[in-house]
Amino acid sequence: MIGPLVGMVHLGALPGASHFGGDFEAVLAAAVADARALAAAGFDAFLVENFGDAPFFPDDVPKVTVAALTRAVTEVRRAVPLPVGVNVLRNDALAAVAVAAATGAAFIRVNVLSGSMTTDQGVIFGKAAEVARLRRSLGTSVLVLADVFVKHAVPPEGLTLERAAADTWERAGADGLIVTGPGTGHPASLDALARVKAAAPGAPLYVGSGVTPETAADVLALADGVIVGTSVKRDGVTTAPVDPDRARALVAAARG
């Protein structure tokens, strides 16, 4: 896979987004600085995400966003020789595959790969068949990490965590599963983590929110890896730059 410690590179608002400040080069420089800080702290990989583009399109971002993300991932890969992933918020998995194929990224994150979830963008449907076919047609070996009951969302009535995990792993073609808390920076339940692990034995399992130095050891006793953003940022603010001291503390706790 990609290593147990994945650090978030939260991009500022990109060209075309409502909060874009007009200086794309500054956005790129901040992304590279965060990636370098995470690498220096000992992280294994990065996940580049258009976090600053809120409010998000549900599943089909504008072409300018795809172009800007491609440039950002290229710059991060050029600056730091570690595996890089792509998440196109809210749930444009096809764009993520395309960006990954164009840049040589190692993996993508898909918030909803199988079934559906009700989100602040409305009901979002997984496009597992389209993702699998696009990945094959492009000849890319990019890995697909998929959320199960993703944060900032509500599952359909009657769908259990176990069924969602099994379907995402066994039928939707995920290469790994991600468990989160209810929102960005919120911890995932260890009970939920154990339930997903039991429902999809053999699936590489990552925790995608709320991991801190205090919880890293307990989380990694059950999970194969963590995706960390908020807790390694300055003052624990998601949109702030990476804090090198916080990043080193997380790595030290995780490596134990």
pTM: 0.96
**Cα(240)–Cα(57) distance, rounded to whole angstroms?**
23
DSSP 149-209: S-SSEEPPTT--HHHHHHHHHHTS--SEEEE--SSTTPPPPHHHHHHHHHHSTT--EEE-S
pLDDT level of residue 22 (50, 70, 90 thresholds): very high
Q: Please give the span between the terminal C-alpha atoms of the chain, in angstroms, as a whole number.
A: 21
Residue 1's pLDDT is 64
Across the range 170-189, mean pLDDT stands at: 95
61: closest CA among 128, 101, 13? Answer: 13
- The b/e string for 9-38 (b: 16+ C-beta within 10 A; e otherwise) is bbbbbbbebeebeeebeebbebbbebbebb
Q: What is the mean pLDDT of the chain?
A: 97
69: closest CA among 91, 95, 45, 93? Answer: 95
CATH number for 21: 3.20.20.70
Could you read off the pLDDT of 45-96 as tens digits, one per residue? 999 999 999 999 999 999 999 999 999 999 999 999 999 999 999 999 999 9
**Cα(246)–Cα(15) distance, rounded to whole angstroms?**
30
Statement: residue 35 has pLDDT above 90: yes
1: closest CA among 93, 104, 85? Answer: 85
DSSP 43-87: -SEEEEE-GGGPSPPSS---HHHHHHHHHHHHHHHHH--S-EEEE
Helix (H) or strand (E) holding 248: helix 244-255
The number of folded domains in the chain is: 1
| Domain span including residue 144 | 5-255
Could you read off the pLDDT of 192-240 as tens digits, one per residue? 999 999 999 999 999 999 999 999 999 999 999 999 999 999 999 999 9
Report the SS3 class of residue 215: coil
Across the range 175-198, mean pLDDT stands at: 95
Sheet holding 153-154, edge to edge: 122-125, 116-119, 153-154
CB-CB contact of 212 with 185 (8 Å)? no
Which residue has tokens 């800007």?
68
